[in-house]
Every structure is written in C-alpha cells, then in structure tokens.
Amino acid sequence: MGSSVRKGRAVLPAEQAARPSREQPHRAAAEDYHHEAQNANNGQAITACCKNKDKDLQFKIQAYIDKNTVMIFSNTACSLSAKVKELFKSMSVPYCSLELDQTEDGQKLQDVLYELTMETSVPIVFVQQKQIGDYDKTLKAHKEGKIQKLLETKGHDHMQDSYDYDLIVIGGGSGGLAASKEAAKYGKKVMVLDYVTPTPQGTRWGLGGTCVNVGCIPKKLMHQAALLGQALQDSRKFGWQFEEKVKHSWETMTEAVQNYIGSLNWGYRVSLREKKVTYENAFGEFVGPHTIKATNNKGKEKFYTAEKFLIATGERPRYLGVPGDKEYCITSDDLFSLPYCPGKTLVVGASYVALECAGFLAGLGLDVTVMVRSILLRGFDQEMANKIGEHMEEHGVKFVKEFVPIKVEQIEEGTPGKLKVIAQSTDGREIIEGEYNTVLVAVGRDACTRTIGLDRVGVKINERSGKIPVSDEEQTNVPYIYAIGDVLEGKLELTPVAIQAGRLLAQRLYAGATLKCDYVNVPTTVFTPLEYGACGFSEETALEKFGEENIEVYHSYFWPLEWTVPSRDNNKCYAKIICNIQDNERVIGFHVLGPNAGEVTQGFSAAIKCGLTKAQLDNTIGIHPVCAEIFTTLSVTKRSGGNILQSGC
C-alpha cells in the first residue's frame, strides 16, 4: 500500500506508521503536518488486558497509538470513517489513518482492536493516546470541547502554525473592531469578516456596524438637528430676529450625515490596515471546527482556519410578519440614508429606537404617530418612560395605544408614496385604518446568529431569541469560540459594552490579563426629545429585589435655566435616585430626564461604580446653575409624599 499525503494530515502504510523511530523528528512542511506523537505510556494497560492475544499485533496497534497525536483506525468503504477524517481535517489537525481493509493482517488487527477497545465498529479514534471511540463518541467529544482540550493540554504545539489566523472576528461592528485591533496589538494574526445583508428596501452600508452606520451616530446627529429647530424657536426670546420662515431640508441633512459616516467607514479600514488586521468584506459562515467560509457579494468563496473565533455579528431589526411589511415598510436600517423626506410617518413600536426616531422626526416638523402594543420602553424605569411619552404627546407626537398593524397596503407609489395601515386592537375587538407616507417598524431586533453555521460547530443558542449564552469570560460552550455584543444572552445591548468586552477579551487571551467585563451599573441614555439617562436599577426592579421597606427614593422636578426665558417645559425635567437603606443608603439607581442627560449620567456613573452613597451626594457642592446640581440637593422622598414641583431654576 502506498502513502497518500494531503494538506494537514498523512495516511501512511502500516509498516511506516508503526515503525519505531530512530531518525530525526519529522519536520512539518506546508503539505505534510504528520509528526511523531509523544508516548503517554498508557498503552501498557491496554496490552496487559489481552495477554493471550497475538503480542505482535497488540504491539503494532500500540505503536500506532503512541506514535501519532491523532490515530484513526479506519476502513476505506466506511462512510463514518470518512466523516471522522473530515472532522479532523476541518480542525486542521493532522492524523494518521490506518485502513484496515487494505492492510496485511487487517482483519486480525481489527479483531484484536475490538478486543482491546470494546468497540464494535470502525472508525476507532485515539487522541493523545486516549481512546475517544467511534464516530458518534468522537463527534460528541468534539462538541463538548474534549478533543481540543486534549490537544491543547498535551502540547499539541504544531496547531498554532497550521491555522491561517490566530483569531477570526465575524462582524465588523464596534465590538469586533475593538477586539481585532487589541489582539493585533499583541502580535496576533487577525482577520475581520464583515458583510451587510441588504434590507428588503436594498439599503446597505460600510464597515463599522450598526452604531456607526444605522444607529447611535446618525441617530444622535438627527436628534441634534431637531434640537436646533427648538433652539431656533427659543432664540427669538433671547433677542434673535429673522424674518424668513425657517425650513428644514431632509436631503441636506442626510447628505451631511452620510458624508460623516463615510469618513468613519474609511477611517476604520485605514486603522485595520495600520494594525495589520486583514479585512474582508465577506459573509462569514462556519463550515466545520476551526474553519470558516467567507463569501463576498459576487458569490466567491474562500475558506480560512483559525485557532480562535469571535462572534460579533450584532442584531438586525425585526419585521412585523404581516402582509406588506417588508414590501412597503422601512426600519432604522433604511431611515438614516433615506433619499427623500419621509413625510407623514407611522412609527410602529415602543422601543428606544421607536421613540428616538419618532422624537427627531417630529422635531423636524413632520406629522408623526406612534403605534404601541403595550408599554413604552420595556426594561427601563416605567415612571421615566411614561414621562417621556407625556412630553412627546405635548410636543405633537400622537400615540395609538394597544393596537398592532395586521396589514400594510400601498395606495400610491412615490418618494414618499402613500400607504394604508390596517391595525387591530390587542384585545381583538376593534379594527382601525390610517394613511401615511412612511411606516417605520421598530418592534425589536433579532440576533444575527442563525445563518452563520453555529450548528455545524456545536455552539448553543437560545432557540427562541437566537442569543448566545456565554461564560463570564464571553466563552461559548465551544471552547475556541467566543462572543460579544448584542448577540449575548442576558447582556446589555450597548456599543460601549461591546467595545469594553472585546478589548478585555483580547487582553485575557493574548496578554495574560484577568480583568473581565463588568456588566453591572452600566450607564445609558435614550435620546428622546427629553433625554433620559439611567444607571443601575429601575425603581420596579429595586423594589422587587430588595423590598419596599429597604428602598428609599429621592426625587424632584427641575427647570433648566436655559428654558426659563422661553418659558417652556417647566416641571418636565425630573431627577430620581434609588438608595439601599440596608447598605448605608448606597445609590443603586440613578435616573434623569432633561437636556444633556447623557453627559450628566456619565459623570455620576463613575461615582456609582465607586459605591456612591446619599450622604456623599449631600456633601458634594453643586455647580450653579446647571441641571446636574439637582442631585446634590435632593431631599424629598417618595415615601414622604412631599411636594417636588419647581417654580424657578
């Protein structure tokens, strides 16, 4: 029998594979990674159990096992033998395969092998001289990470060289980019795969992920455009005089926003190149252990291997699942580059995305209606959420509550055209209709995990949500695969969280660090017209967790000085802290409604991470006259029922 050698593994004749080695260790070349395995000295026990068998055959079998890191006793006609070889091939793990049906004394070897292993059929697999078993047992051991652990703990040092990359990151969003650049900083060979599947309306974008292209960045810029409109109205009270009617140009705004985003896209590509990170605009999909297929927009496929992988694919907007939704509706993926003004708009949903978009569209002077199935801002403090809704209603946003669309029809084509929305009450008793130029769907987001081949490598996901459960070190159930960002189960869906998790993960993997991402007391802001900043527990969660008797809530309205001259929105801004009485009134929840809420919250969140107490807040001298000053003078508790209305700044 001749020697059949393929890239990454060798199939050797019995005499060569079992021959005792007196020569120099075999050098692993580009097409031949076969090497001599270290003897684990556990073969003596196997031999001893079969003293009455042919000793020559026993020693020959043991020689195969001792000599090779991965030894497969196989049969050329066995489909399961072929599958187990493909498994190791996909892992870029070299193996030695002995084809028993083509080997002299093959049948006798097989009989002795069955006696030694108690297995009843081929393939029979050994890894680092440890018996794994048949195909099913090998596949199970691989999915549980046992094979990889054996290879890593037993000094399988050629593995590093056999991979194309040390780390492949799937997803070029904020978290994935941060992790890739951090890993490259420590001399690792890193690749980033990023691909944007076009929306049903055909929208796509460049490198940088949701935040940069269709999330935080354009949202905040358009929020600012709306605030400038309010500032123009206020300016007349401050003495500014202008005769012409002020108009807003949607096209000018979107062009400027997209130009800025384009500069960021280019900057990310330059940064990856400077850090020597390989970037491919291609869809990444696992095809086997340690192996991924990258498909570009022309359908060209490439295959890469890596020692470790990081899933950072993020989420995409969820559609309604009703007739006409994908044909005629848009999502936040489309809104920020929409080439025409959306006109009269129905926003479907009550998420922060829904309310933020509704807020700035109304601020730009558009007729906006929000259709809500149940509550506003699920997961956030409900008192704050309701105050946001009240403020938006007072500023012209209409709310249709406890209704959901059941059909969307096109009445007229155009940019924008005209759509008819048929909606049903949540109790099923009432049907209503309405006409709009644009329907924006913002009912939630789905993790991009179901089409990247996770099932092929055994990564577990939550079947309902698609989210990935991970350890406190962002490791999935498959040891060489990690995940960060919005795809994680039970973690905050925030860009800075993904960035922090990605950087710290790379430092742990490649720099010997031990610090883990802290998902507790993470500050965030909802950029509705009246901005909402929060850190820590909502009031509802705090009461549930600690009990009403152990919670003290301090609160007050406040009136920003800048709003007093225009005489608008008095007693709309609101501050609230939630304190744990049993822990020296430590601040466990921070909430603020008002201008620049994000700037205010960011500063206080650092103090909360350090264990801020109510006494320390009271002992802090405020800056006058600013909105954040209110937190140094809070004195009225909810329990007391005292008056919190303000008549001046």
What residue segments make up the domains of the chain, in order of their start?
Answer: 49-152, 165-314+448-511, 318-444, 530-640
pLDDT < 50 regions, the chain: 1-53, 155-160
Residue 355 CA to residue 149 CA, distance in Å, equals 48
CATH 3.50.50.60 correct for 165-314+448-511: yes
Whether 248 sits among the annotated catalytic residues: the reply is no
Same fold yes or no, 165-314+448-511 and 318-444: yes
Q: Name the H helices within 535-596.
A: 539-546, 561-564
Given its phi and psi angles, is residue 8 left (phi above 0), alpha (psi -120 to 50 degrees) or beta? left
Residue 55 CA to residue 71 CA, distance in Å, equals 20
| pTM, two decimal places | 0.77
Q: 530-640 — its CATH code?
A: 3.30.390.30
Q: Smallest Cα–Cα separation from 316: which of 295, 296, 333? A: 333
Three-class HEC string of 264-324: HHHHHHHHHHHCCCEEECCEEEEEECCEEEEECCCCCEEEEEEEEEEECCCEEECCCCCCC
* CA distances (Å), origin 428, targets 319, 402, 404, 425: 21, 10, 10, 5
- The predicted pLDDT at position 178 comes to 98
Q: Smallest Cα–Cα separation from 508: which of 188, 273, 152, 177? A: 188
Positive or negative CA dihedral for 215, 220, 223, 229? negative
Report the top-level CATH class of 318-444.
alpha beta
Q: Smallest Cα–Cα separation from 218: which of 259, 177, 172? A: 259
CATH 3.40.30.10 correct for 49-152: yes
- The predicted pLDDT at position 500 comes to 98
- The predicted pLDDT at position 649 comes to 56
Task: Return the exposure string of 156-190: e unless at least 16 CB atoms fall within 10 Å of the residue's CB, then b.
Answer: bebbeebbbbbbbbbbbbbbbbbbbbbbbbeebbb
- The predicted pLDDT at position 59 comes to 79
φ/ψ of 304, rounded to 5, equals -135, 150
Q: Smallest Cα–Cα separation from 91: which of 145, 55, 43? A: 145
Residue 297 CA to residue 282 CA, distance in Å, equals 7
- The predicted pLDDT at position 153 comes to 64
Cα 491 to its chain centre, rounded Å, is: 9
- The predicted pLDDT at position 24 comes to 32
Residue 151 CA to residue 31 CA, distance in Å, equals 20
Pick the catalytic residue: 26, 395, 555, 624?
624
Residue 438 CA to residue 417 CA, distance in Å, equals 8
* CA distances (Å), origin 270, targets 173, 183, 206, 492, 520: 15, 17, 13, 29, 34
Residue 309 structure tokens: 């992988």
3-state secondary structure of 493: coil
Give the residue carrying structure tokens 């009134």: 585
